[in-house]
Chain A
Amino acid sequence: MAPMEKRVVFQNKFLPYLLVAPQLAITIIFFFWPASQAIVQSVLREDAFGTRSYFVGLENFIILFEDDYYLHSFQITALFSSLVTTIGLSLSLFLAVTADRLVRGTTAYKTLLIWPYAVAPAVAGALWGFVFLPGPGVLAYVLEQAGIDWNFQLNGGQAMFVVVVAATWKQISYNFLFFLAGLQSVPKSLIEAAAIDGAGPIRRFWTIIMPLLSPTLFFLIVVNVVYAFFDTFGVIHSLTRGGPAKATEVLVYKVWYDGFEAQDLGGSSAQSVILMVIVIALTVVQFRYIERKVHY
């Protein structure tokens, strides 16, 4: 890690503690204490009246992994996040490469493509939900005319399609910005040299641009998986409520539903702990890679 402090520092015994105190207070009260409670709750079970709780070891986890709905939720999350990541990244890479090749208009295109980042996931869900709504929805009408029996409120596959569209739509701007920045930092001299040696645009893309872009690509894969796992609750909640028949019940939706709607404290806490492990793994991957990028 980079050096953390200045050569020249101030001398004071109490002031630095006072300065970090607000941040630490929030961190301990609202992050560390609840996280430790989630871990504690995950090995406890409440009795039928909710008055006493007793130690059950890993039983909550065992029940979870024997629960078909939970395994199903894992599969749904894997499908959802891989679709959001692959579609979002390929589309924005294609857009960024196209914009980067053009001499004129790149800045204008950037402005016109970045704003979906600012739209809340829940609002993105509402907008696309309306577009695909059977009845007034314009694309629902187009699909009906094409002979498809369209109703994403009843058909699980169609519901997954709509949540993937809404979640990907929101993330395109972010991916596009980072790809464009990555492309613009590829030295022009390298590309020109390859062109003089007779390499065409496609060859140049795969042999020069893509390898140089791979750190950006890898970084974006992690960011998109984290986004699909943790930041899409609003999309799901506003569009499908995890339905129909749990067809779009991703892990973060299930942890909320089981905890607040089904009041299953132990089960929901065990799910929290599993999510914690996932997010820690993803953060470690992301930061190990960033450390490397800094040193290269």
Chain B
Amino acid sequence: MIERRPVANAFGHIFLITTILIVAFPIYLAVIAASHTIQDVSQTPMPLLPGAELFTNTARALFDGPQMIGVSGATPALVLMKNSLIMAIAIAVGKIIISLLSAFAIVYFRFPLKNFFFWMIFITLMLPVEVRIIPTYKIVADLGLLDSYPGLVLPLIASATATFLFRQFFMTVPDELVEAARIDGAGPMRFFCDVLVPLSRTSIAAMFVIQFIYGWNQYLWPLLIASDYQYQTIVLAIGRLMRAPDAFYEWPVVMGMAVLALLPPVLVVVLMQRWFVKGLVETEK
């Protein structure tokens, strides 16, 4: 800061704090809605201060799921969150493993077609699900993977960004380490497991945070693949519950579920902030 401007600074703080409150406002309201009875929330407008039902409504969301008129088959949030967790972790771990392996091959070996493979991986950046939506669905259907965890996970674990990130990191690893490993008689896989992967810890953590959020927040893909309630994710369930906003809704339970849907990824970002920012900035290089 150059000049001393106490008034401008005070306004700066006020502006930032106000923005933070506005940004948090919809989540505050969701928590408030989750703490009241249906009758209270159905008032115009709903109450702005917390009620006493938060525990009851959260328990209902977790173990029963909201009852909807016209929407059959309420699924407990616990089942949905289990599916989200499986999907998010499998996608994150899967992406990290296959990207570590392919980045290792690209950086530490010389072989024909290498550049071609590299470009193939790069081009996947230009093919989001949205531009190949029906044929991808058909492939998964033909492979018999509809309504299954592999169907939810496998098509999403190719990753150009993770491959680039690891390639970039491997390029900074000193060549002396390879030479030392070779003198010690360690083969490539030994070097990969004992030297390269441990050295990549920070990059792996950064990638895990980014890809966990990516996996947890998937929407279009589970919408196509998981028609069976047993395989739906909590984010998908939230979107589906909003289908007929005119209908009589158990808003307290629905909003409790929305909070449950956003809590895990938000906690991951806040608790692993250092790796999150690193991952975000480095994948965009």
Residue B258 CB within 8 A of the other chain: yes
Complex CA gap A230/B123 in Å reads: 16
Nearest CB of chain B from residue A247's CB, rounded to whole Å: 15
Nearest CB of chain A from residue B147's CB, rounded to whole Å: 16
B9 and A111 contact, CB distance less than 8 A? no
A195 and B136 contact, CB distance less than 8 A? no
B139 and A34 contact, CB distance less than 8 A? yes
A27 and B104 contact, CB distance less than 8 A? no
A138 and B48 contact, CB distance less than 8 A? yes
Nearest CB of chain B from residue A158's CB, rounded to whole Å: 13
A105 and B102 contact, CB distance less than 8 A? no
Residue B51 CB within 8 A of the other chain: no
Contact of A5 with B106 at beta-carbon distance under 8 Å, contacts A34-B135, A136-B45 already known: yes
A114 and B30 contact, CB distance less than 8 A? no
Complex CA gap A233/B41 in Å reads: 28
Nearest CB of chain B from residue A208's CB, rounded to whole Å: 11
Tier of interface size on chain A:
35 or more
Contact of A290 with B285 at beta-carbon distance under 8 Å, contacts A5-B108, A268-B133 already known: yes
B19, B102, B107, B241: the one contacting A126 at CB < 8 Å is B241
Q: For residues 267 through 296 of chain A, which have their beta carbon under 8 Å from a beta carbon of chain B?
A: 268-269, 272-273, 275-276, 279-280, 283, 290
Residue A131 CB within 8 A of the other chain: yes
**Which DSSP category, helix, strand, loop or mixed, fits chain B's interface?**
helix
Contact of A19 with B175 at beta-carbon distance under 8 Å, contacts A99-B16, A138-B29 already known: no
Nearest CB of chain A from residue B220's CB, rounded to whole Å: 5
Nearest CB of chain A from residue B43's CB, rounded to whole Å: 7
Q: For residues 1 through 55 of chain B, which have their beta carbon under 8 Å from a beta carbon of chain A?
A: 1-3, 8-9, 12-13, 15-16, 19-20, 23-27, 29-30, 33, 41-46, 48
Residue B163 CB within 8 A of the other chain: yes
B43 and A26 contact, CB distance less than 8 A? no
Nearest CB of chain A from residue B79's CB, rounded to whole Å: 18
Residue A15 CB within 8 A of the other chain: yes
Complex interface: chain A residues within 8 A of B246 (CB): 153
Nearest CB of chain A from residue B138's CB, rounded to whole Å: 7
B25 and A19 contact, CB distance less than 8 A? no
Contact with B along A1-45 (1 / 0, CB 8 A): 011111111101101110110111011111111110110010000
Q: Which residue of B lies closest to A19 (CB)?
A: B105
Residue A88 CB within 8 A of the other chain: no
Residue B201 CB within 8 A of the other chain: no
A2, A102, A131: the one contacting B29 at CB < 8 Å is A131
B-binding segment of A47-55, A60-68, A116-124: A116-124
Complex CA gap A120/B87 in Å reads: 14
A31 and B127 contact, CB distance less than 8 A? yes
Residue B76 CB within 8 A of the other chain: no
Chain B residue total in the interface (Cβ 8 A) = 113
Complex interface: chain A residues within 8 A of B131 (CB): 35, 38, 272-273, 275-276, 279
A5, A31, A138, A233: the one contacting B220 at CB < 8 Å is A233
Contact with B along A88-112 (1 / 0, CB 8 A): 0000000100110111010001011
Complex interface: chain B residues within 8 A of A16 (CB): 105, 109, 111, 114
Complex CA gap A95/B15 in Å reads: 8
Complex interface: chain A residues within 8 A of B117 (CB): 20, 24
Contact with A along B109-140 (1 / 0, CB 8 A): 11100110110110111111011111111111
Complex interface: chain A residues within 8 A of B281 (CB): 177-178, 181
B126 and A276 contact, CB distance less than 8 A? yes
Q: Measuring CB to CB, which residues of chain A are less than 8 angstroms from any residue of chain B?
A: 2-10, 12-13, 15-17, 19-20, 22-24, 26-35, 37-38, 41, 95, 98-99, 101-103, 105, 109, 111-123, 125-131, 133, 135-138, 140-142, 153, 169, 172, 174, 177-178, 181, 191-192, 195, 201, 204, 219, 223, 230, 233-234, 237-239, 241, 252, 255-256, 259-260, 265, 268-269, 272-273, 275-276, 279-280, 283, 290
**14 interchain pairs (CB within 8 A)?**
A5-B106, A8-B182, A28-B120, A30-B136, A35-B135, A122-B217, A123-B217, A123-B235, A127-B26, A136-B44, A178-B281, A272-B130, A276-B131, A279-B127
Other than A130-B29, A169-B26, A272-B132, give 9 A-B pairs with Cβ distance below 8 A: A20-B105, A22-B98, A29-B139, A38-B132, A98-B12, A105-B13, A128-B26, A137-B45, A276-B132
Q: Which 8 A/B pairs are nearest by Cβ-Cβ distance? A: A37-B135, A34-B135, A120-B217, A141-B45, A19-B105, A234-B219, A238-B239, A118-B265
